[in-house]
Structure 1
């Protein structure tokens, strides 16, 4: 399942209660939407959802950031390609992430 922005917000709010994390997700979502309009306008909402959910696990599991995304997002039947893109943002910065960004969206 590839969530739309409304469903992605529900997922984000299930695991994040703090204003900072909710706002951060919205800000990154907007930034990703901006870049999608330039590079991949057909998939703008997809990029925005990836941005919105990129830190879905951080508030509850800061020590396992990115690795817990799998579990949380699979519980919502989120598409594996989307999970891969979300998790890849930790590559090279977090020891738990071995997924290298490959798509242009993942590199942004």
Structure 2
């Protein structure tokens, strides 16, 4: 199973300091094919089939949290989590883009 923010493939802790749109990639293989479930802080956020690629806009601290992808079929389930932190810097008036990445 794979779960990551596109463009940040193996990072499990990502901080964004500006409003941005991200695409999550949640993929599982198996027979029967798994159903993919995306949770935010343990609450269902979205469901789809593999490969599942939900896009979301990060607007601020309300989007901060643990995002977990779960692949499940009749034979079992597996999951991975990515922590996404979003803090908008209102003092950044010059249009520079700031992105901090922490690898845990």
- Bin the TM-score by the shorter chain: under 0.3
Structure with greater proportional strand content: 2
Structure-2-length-normalised TM-score: 0.24
Q: Which has the higher contact order (CA 8 A, sep 6+)?
A: 2
Structure-1-length-normalised TM-score: 0.24
> Which is greater in Rg?
2
